[in-house]
A and B are shown apart, each in its own frame.
Chain A
Amino acid sequence: MAIIKVQRPKLSAGEKIYFGSIFKGMIITLRHAFRSLVGKSVGAKELNSSGVGITMQYPEQKWDEELPEYYRGTPALVTDELDRERCVSCQLCEFICPPKAIKITPGEIPSSDEWAKVEKRPQAFDIDMIRCIYCGMCEEVCPEQAIYLRPDYVVTGTTRKEMVHDKDRLYEIGGKRVGLVNKWNDLK
């Protein structure tokens, strides 16, 4: 590659005096500001703008319908089509959880139960949402596909206790998830 010497462009007298360009620039800025003020910025419609600029104002306007299927919000437990808990409290998620947000108290399934062969289910399952970093490792590690990251993202509370999701809350968020899971497979 040869060395290319870049010449500075020759400026005309008008450009050297500079004020014309500044004035033009200010008019452009003002026009842009005006368009932004009346909500006519480029892309305002596509981005669901609130009327000023292209900003969507959050609590009043939400993007929920546009959230993709795979959006990773709060981790939650799911049940299968027969409302059985998928979780077998193997505690793998508790071990893998980087911020140690998950706490599981395993419990035994009594032999009188129809699904006694599963042996264990969680007695208590707490996820501390103050600690949770939404990394999705619990979902990845779960052998029973019992824990999923759901699209909910509004986790608020006024006390620390409210921010800890217990088992009931987790099932409430998670809902039902249909699909084959190993432990219910009678052949095994």
Chain B
Amino acid sequence: MDITLLIAAAIKIGVFIGITMTFVSICVIFERRFSAIIQDRVGPNRTMIPLSILGFKKDFALPIGGLTQPVADGLKFILKEDFTPSYVRTVFFWLAPVFVVVPALLTMAVVPFGSPMEFGDTVIPMAVADLNVGPLFIFAIASLSVYGITLAGWASNSKYPFFGGVRACAQMISYEIALGLSIIPILMFFGGLNLGHIVEEQVKNGWLLLPLWNEGGFIIGSGYWGQENVIQRLLLLIPLGISFVIFTTSIFAETNRMPFDLPECETELVGGYHTEYSSMKFALFFMGEYAAMVVGSALIVTLFFGGWSIGFGIDGLLPTGAWWVSLIHIGCFLTKVTVFILFFILVRWTIPRFRYDQLMNLGWIVFFEAALINVFLAALVIAYPSIGFMGFIVGFIILAIASVLLILIAKGTTKKPSATAV
């Protein structure tokens, strides 16, 4: 590996971790302000830069609308007393917050932030590690964060955190399957696992869920319809749409966000797995959760909404490889991620929390099977050109029968609560 790539990698690690951490704090301020607005409040809007500590005579309220609130929050967390209860399992108690934060930050390594930059003849991809197994890496690492939560629950040596930990463990494991299965149609469509290539494909042929343009031009022009397999591409929107719904919902469950925040639901479990934590250790849980949210949004954007591409054919007009184009693309990517973070918050204040058995049913009975059927449905649509119309119909009928059987089995084996039971 030559030295340019090494230096570039070091810079990228620094910058992207910086961006992620900034986004975590942006998440916090957005969460607080947006929640406040939804609830007819104002939210934290007065936090300012205290100019008096810089030697000025008076504090001057810069009109930044409380943007420094996360900084103030962070300072508060650092300065608070770090209290460790006496009967905790100390080593694990200290390890747990780390296990939550590190995976969340690690997963950001494979997400492409922008289009590749060219310096001379070296092309530098705008992802820390341009792996060929991107999504697999993300799932492998992201599922490690369940250890952190479970350890926190167990090591606290207290019953409510323990319940929280157990719930988190069960929940994350059950949604991981749906998460993994739901992206198989996408991987089949792109024929690869490299997130960078997936995004580049979407630049050319339209975002996965918005195939409004392709190499022939826009959907309104004749060039678009002249491309081969256009109908098939549009038909694919059905399995891909199902994938999107399952994937997004599973991401909500994975990040312990509302409506699936049972591990920390304060009405039942005091504070959930982090009840016994204080100060910076609690802040790490907090950060881990928000970092997971950022990574989740980034993943949704990358897979379904074209990653860093501006879309609508504008990318093709820009020169490839120039540094400013890369920066524009990074900005575009971050904008999309922000939109999704706002969506996360919107969902939080729209949908009430699930009951635990509903959550498990949704994970194991609905999403698992829907994702499984969806894989075959996508395969059928993708195979359409080679099997012909008759093959497609036959395949569809077989799939329908199999699905109905699967649903019947799932329904039949689920014991209904009897009507007479009190």
By a beta-carbon cutoff of 8 Å, the part of chain A in contact with chain B is 19, 22, 25-26, 28-30, 32-33, 36-37, 41, 44, 50, 52-55, 57
Contacts and interface: CB of A to CB of B under 8 A. Distances in A.
B39 interface: yes
A60 to B, nearest CB: 11
Interface stretch (B12-20, B99-107, B263-271, B345-353): B345-353
16 contacts: A19-B245, A22-B351, A25-B350, A28-B350, A29-B346, A33-B34, A33-B346, A41-B40, A50-B42, A52-B37, A53-B40, A53-B41, A53-B42, A54-B40, A55-B42, A57-B42
A22 B350 contact: yes
Nearest to B35: A33
A43 B19 CA distance: 40
A63 to B, nearest CB: 16
B349 A37 contact: no
A112 to B, nearest CB: 52
A33 B37 contact: yes
B350 A26 contact: yes
Given A22-B347, A53-B40, 9 more contacts: A22-B351, A25-B350, A26-B347, A29-B346, A29-B350, A32-B40, A33-B38, A53-B42, A55-B40
A55 B41 contact: yes
B36 interface: yes
**Chain B contact residues (Cβ within 8 angstroms of A): what range?**
10 to 19
A41 B36 CA distance: 13
Contacts of B41: 52-55
Interface string B17-45: 00000000000000000101111111000
Contacts of B347: 22, 26
Nearest to A19: B245
Contacts of B351: 22, 25
A57 B37 CA distance: 14
A53 B37 contact: yes
B245 A36 contact: no
Interface string B323-363: 00000000000000000000000110111000000000000
A26 B346 CA distance: 7
B301 to A, nearest CB: 18
Nearest to B343: A26
Nearest to B36: A53
Nearest to B33: A52
A37 B37 contact: yes
Contacts of B36: 53
Contacts of B42: 50, 52-53, 55, 57
A30 B346 contact: yes
Nearest to A21: B351
Nearest to B40: A53
A54 B38 CA distance: 11
Interface in B179-225: none
B178 to A, nearest CB: 16
Nearest to A55: B42
Contact of B38 (A19, A22, A36, A50): A36
Contacts of A30: 346
Contacts of B38: 29, 32-33, 36
Nearest to A7: B419
A28 B40 CA distance: 14
Contacts of B40: 32, 36, 41, 44, 53-55
A65 B70 CA distance: 36
Contacts of A54: 40-41
B238 to A, nearest CB: 14
A122 B346 CA distance: 62
Contacts of B37: 33, 36-37, 52-53
A29 B39 contact: no
B336 to A, nearest CB: 18
Contact of A53 (B39, B346, B349): B39
Interface in B344-394: 346-347, 349-351
Q: Which 5 A-B pairs have the closest CB atoms?
A: A53-B40, A25-B350, A55-B42, A41-B40, A33-B38
A46 B418 CA distance: 51
A67 to B, nearest CB: 22
Scoring A37, A50, A53 by chain B CB atoms within 10 A of each residue's CB, the highest score goes to: A53
A142 to B, nearest CB: 40
A41 B41 CA distance: 10
Interface in B38-61: 38-42
A30 B42 CA distance: 16
A139 to B, nearest CB: 35
Interface string B242-270: 00010000000000000000000000000
Contacts of B350: 22, 25-26, 28-29
Contacts of A32: 38, 40
Contacts of A19: 245
A36 B35 CA distance: 11
Nearest to A57: B42
User: Which of B245, B347, B350 has most chain A Cβ within 10 Å?
Assistant: B350
